[in-house]
Amino acid sequence: MTPHLSLAALADPARRKDLAHILKQAKSVVAITGAGVSAESGISTFRGAGGYWEKFRAEDLASPRGFTKDPELVWRWYNERRIAILNSQPNPGHFALAALEKAFPSFLLVTQNVDGFHGQAGSEKMVEIHGSIWELRCTREGKIWTDRQIFETLPVYCACGALARPNVLWFGEAYNPNLFHQAQQAASRADLILVAGTSGMVWIVAGLLQAHYQHQSQGQVIEINLEASDLTPEVDLLLQGPSGQILPLILALLKNEDQT
């Protein structure tokens, strides 16, 4: 059974010392983040009560078929998400990950989130594996551009006259092979993987952990989540609590700034 450590348990100096030892042994690190990290900034998660999928089927909002059927509905939904993100900001977990990037010889952040908070917090060694809500793509020419405005007229069109779509990965679409290869190679080399704020239901998490386990018999995988998930039986340790509190604690332990 995977060991669980709550925030209360991490008040124990011995437990903190053990965790600090794991962190300080790591040279190559991959962090994988999901919607739970941004939920602490007030951005609704995709699954569960209050999630974005609650009122509509996913296929109606985030699929090529849904976009073809009703591009205005899809764009209204994405426009509302853009508004919510612009009215929020990165939380301490985002900033801790940006600092962790500089603390390890090798580091890559692989995020499922499309909100851009990681980059806003300062992360640079990053793969946005599901794309970015702030990028648009022409459905005719494939041209990609960045636009952070809130759109007054929907749906959105490219300058060429064709419909534009959010440059994000939709259901039924394949991962960008270059981005996936970069993430997979990093996971296969990593001696520590931090998985924060994801249920593990998205395939990319399992795929990266598989690449890690195939090449790193001694590597460690630490999950950071509010509660145990489908992923928990596959990891070495669950740190149970908000990522906005646990990730800064990890940073403090690594930098010998622990205050116990």
What is the domain-level CATH number for residue 61? 3.30.1600.10
207 and 228 housed in the same domain: yes
Active-site residue flag, 118: no
Residues 142 and 228 in one domain: no
Q: Residue 45: its pLDDT value, please? A: 60
Q: Which residues pair with 132 in a beta bridge?
A: 167
Q: Is the dihedral of CA 148, 156, 166, 159 positive or negative?
A: negative
Query: pTM higher than 0.85 for the full model?
Result: yes
Residues 187, 203: one domain? yes
The candidate with the shortest Cα–Cα distance to 68, out of 1, 8, 2, 139, is 139
Classify the C-alpha dihedral 149-152-155-161 as positive or negative.
negative
Helices and strands per DSSP (H, E), number in the chain: 10, 10
Please tell me the distance from the alpha carbon of residue 136 to that of residue 150, in angstroms, as a whole number. 13
Same domain? 197 vs 256 = yes
Task: For residue 151, give both structure tokens.
Answer: 């759109």
Same domain, 197 and 236: yes
Q: Give CA separation, 78 vs 2, 87, 194, in Å.
A: 38, 14, 29
In whole angstroms, what is the distance from residue 203 CA to residue 182 CA?
16
Q: For residues 119 and 209, state if they share a domain.
A: yes
Identified catalytic residue from 4, 130, 181, 212: 130
Q: What is the pLDDT of residue 105?
A: 93
Structurally, the chain folds into a number of domains equal to 2
Q: Which residue segment(s) compose the domain that 239 sits in?
A: 1-43+90-130+175-260
Cβ neighbours of residue 217 closer than 8 Å, sequence gap 6 or more: none
Q: Which of 106, 141, 168 is the last residue of a domain?
A: 168
- Whether residue 139 sits in one domain with residue 50: yes
2 and 30 housed in the same domain? yes
Report the CATH number at residue 103.
3.40.50.1220
Provide the pLDDT for residue 219. 85
Length of the chain, please? 260
pLDDT mean for each 10 residues of the chain (260 residues): 89 94 96 95 66 68 93 93 94 98 96 97 98 98 97 97 97 94 96 92 87 85 94 94 97 78
Residues 160 and 182 in one domain: no
Q: Are residues 149 and 236 in the same domain?
A: no
Let me know whether 141 and 83 are in one domain: yes
Q: Is 148 exposed, middle or buried (0-12, 13-18, 19+ CB in 10 A)?
A: exposed
Do 154 and 193 fall into the same domain? no
